Amino acid sequence: MSDPIIKFDKVVKRFGDLTVLDALDFEVMRGEKVSIIGPSGSGKSTVLRILMTLEGIDGGLVTVGGEPLWHEPGPDGLRPASEAHLRKMRAQLGMVFQQFNLFPHMTVLRNITEAPVKVLGLSKADAKLRAEELLERVGLADQAQKYPHQLSGGQQQRVGIARALAMRPSILLFDEPTSALDPELVGEVLNVIGQLAEEHDLTMLLVTHEMRFAREISDRVCFFDQGQIREEGTPEELFSDPNEDRTREFLKAVLD
Amino acid sequence: MLFGFEWDLSSPLAFALSILPILLIGMWVTIQAAVLGFAVALVLGLVWAVLKAARSRFIAWPASVVTEFIRDTPLLVQLFFLYYVLPEYGIVLPAFMTGALALGIQYSAYTSEVYRAGLEAVAKDQHEAARALNLSAARTFTHIVVPQAVPRIVPAMGNYLVSIMKDVPVLSVVTVLEMLNVAKIVGDRTFDYLVPLSMVGGLYLIMTLVASAGVRLLDGWLPKQGIPLK
Ligand SMILES: Nc1ncnc2c1ncn2[C@@H]1O[C@H](COP(=O)(O)OP(=O)(O)O)[C@@H](O)[C@H]1O
Ligand SMILES: [Mg+2]
């Protein structure tokens, strides 16, 4: 666990005049389970989206597995990454979205097999086998032929998780995976994520408002505020005995 | 007599019945012109939409200017342009072809907007999910975006088919014998305009009602989630 699998080095991200990340330093170790908490608009999603290559950066360096993500080596040092480089890097990452983002015109099975067949080059039979195993794992073995709109939100999100896992990423990003769900459906999704957290090799980055859950599964919790990590530590440290006033205020507000 | 059919002026009803086959021949020309024009509009509109979506401004900008120009000028201008200018450059098309082409060009400006709106309406989420799964841009377009855009595009296109039908009489000015032109000729020769023109109105009503019903049927039948991929 000595070298970080994810490293943000003085990363700057702006949207127009708004500086969302202002020289952010952030590291995640291989296999580590990190939860990101913090107020809305503090840049939590932006961090995940930069990693998933959905947003570029305006300064600094992001490395994944020791390699620059948004840059590649050129004749005179680093230059902006080409699409080919991004494609290669993206293969290490998977993402679970707040709104699930399933493909509505594809069956559950097809949602899961599409990328393994088209991107990884798996045969349809192998991809189907892989999908069925994953559906079994997320408790949806009998739903393979359904379309997303025929499923509950909790089931859809579990398909979203299976879809991301089918690409065998070494890093899995969760952006508020239960925030769009009715309260009674949150548990079934957290159960699945909790099981994944048992996997030693999988690196997990979870943005969530489920504080109890974050406390249970995380190795480390980071409190984001205004594009900075205001405070971080083990769940024990951060939740029971925060150092910063901002952290205390935030926790008080969300736990009430 | 027109197209080999004699008219019977003994009573309005007899007159109407006797010229019905003549008007139906005109109506068939109207339908053909509308369908051909529509086909041109569908293909050309897609070309404009693709060009306008091009990354390079040197492609996107001229395409926007051209479609804006087409949209802001009357159909008649395009028609005259094709009918009188093209032959000067040695391109001589039959009046019917010229007319259908003019209709197609005019409506391509509208259909290009339908394509653009339909493709853009596919949520950003879907592009992001595809990107996160590392699907190629081409695969994302053909298998994620297009199947979801089609159900949005088809009904709007259907409405343009109906309005293109109603624009076909413009082609009479370049001698195309579509339904209204035929009715006018019958009126010119029998000095009775009321019956043939009323019949044109009635036949148009039937045509547009049938076409609109077809569009609605198609719309109801299209899956709202996108075209399913098996
Ligand atoms: N595409 C964008 N364009 C402009 N502003 C954006 C965009 N995405 C995010 N932002 C802004 O950046 C800030 C951080 O957003 P985000 O990372 O989504 O925060 P969080 O996930 O912590 O709620 C917010 O103020 C948000 O409005
Ligand atoms: Mg967010």
- Ligand 1 is surrounded, with C-beta below 6 A, by A 15, 18, 20, 40-46
Across the interface, of B126, B132, B136, the residue whose CB is closest to A103 is: B126
Predicted local confidence at residue B56, as pLDDT: 87
pLDDT tens-place string over residues B25-67: 999 999 999 999 999 999 999 999 989 988 888 999 999 999 9
Query: Is-contact A116 A127, C-beta < 8 A?
Result: yes
pLDDT tens-place string over residues B141-192: 999 999 999 999 998 999 999 999 999 999 999 999 999 999 999 999 999 9
- Paired tokens of A52: 């998933």
Query: Is-contact B103 B37, C-beta < 8 A?
Result: yes
Which of B113, B190, B185 lies closest to B152 in space, CA to CA?
A: B113
Low-confidence residues of chain A: pLDDT under 70: 1-2
> Count of residues for chain A?
256
Query: Which ligand 1 atom sits nearest the alpha carbon of residue A42?
Result: 22
- Paired tokens of A160: 């979203």
Predicted local confidence at residue B184, as pLDDT: 95
Q: Where would I find the H helices in chain B?
A: 12-52, 57-72, 75-80, 95-121, 124-132, 137-139, 146-167, 179-190, 194-221
**CA–CA separation, B165 and B38 (whole Å):** 9
For chain B, say whether A119 makes contact (Cβ under 8 Å). Answer: yes
Domain edges within chain B? 12-225
**CA–CA separation, B32 and B55 (whole Å):** 37
Query: Is-contact B202 B116, C-beta < 8 A?
Result: no
Predicted local confidence at residue A206, as pLDDT: 98
Question: Which ligand is the nearest neighbour of the Cα of A14?
Answer: 1
For chain B, say whether A114 makes contact (Cβ under 8 Å). Answer: yes
Which CATH fold topology does A31-54+89-255 show?
Rossmann fold (3.40.50)
In this structure, the residue with its CA closest to atom 10 of ligand 1 is A15
Query: Is-contact A214 A246, C-beta < 8 A?
Result: no
End-to-end CA distance of chain A: 36
Domain edges within chain A? 31-54+89-255
At A211, the amino acid letter reads M
> Phi then psi for A64, rounded to 5 degrees?
-130, 125
Q: What three-state secondary structure class fits A55?
A: coil
pLDDT tens-place string over residues B63-81: 999 999 999 999 999 999 9
Q: Which chain A positions have a beta carbon within 8 Å of B227's beta carbon?
A: 105
Class of B12-225 in CATH: mainly alpha
**CA–CA separation, B132 and B24 (whole Å):** 57
**CA–CA separation, A205 and A185 (whole Å):** 21
- Paired tokens of B12: 């309005």
**CA–CA separation, A165 and A120 (whole Å):** 13
Predicted local confidence at residue A2, as pLDDT: 62
Predicted local confidence at residue B229, as pLDDT: 82
At B224, the amino acid letter reads K
- How would DSSP label each residue in A192-220? HHHHHHT-SS-EEEEE-S-HHHHHHH-SE
Closest-approach residue (CA) in chain B for A163? B133
Confidence check: pLDDT of B135 > 80: yes
Split at pLDDT 50, 70, 90, the class of B224 is confident
**CA–CA separation, A162 and A142 (whole Å):** 14
| Tokens 């040092």, located at residue | A77
Predicted local confidence at residue A140, as pLDDT: 97
Q: At what angle are helices B12-52 and B95-121 packed, to 10 degrees?
A: 50
Q: Nearest-CA distance from B142 to chain A in Å?
A: 13
Probe residue for ligand 1, chosen from A14, A46, A222, A223 as the CB with the greatest number of ligand atoms within 8 Å: A46
For chain B, say whether A56 makes contact (Cβ under 8 Å). Answer: no
DSSP conformational letter for A21: E
Under an 8 A CB cutoff, do A90 and B135 touch? no
Burial per residue of A109-134, b for 16 or more beta-carbon CB atoms within 10 angstroms, e otherwise: bbbbbbbbbbbeebeeeebbebbbeb
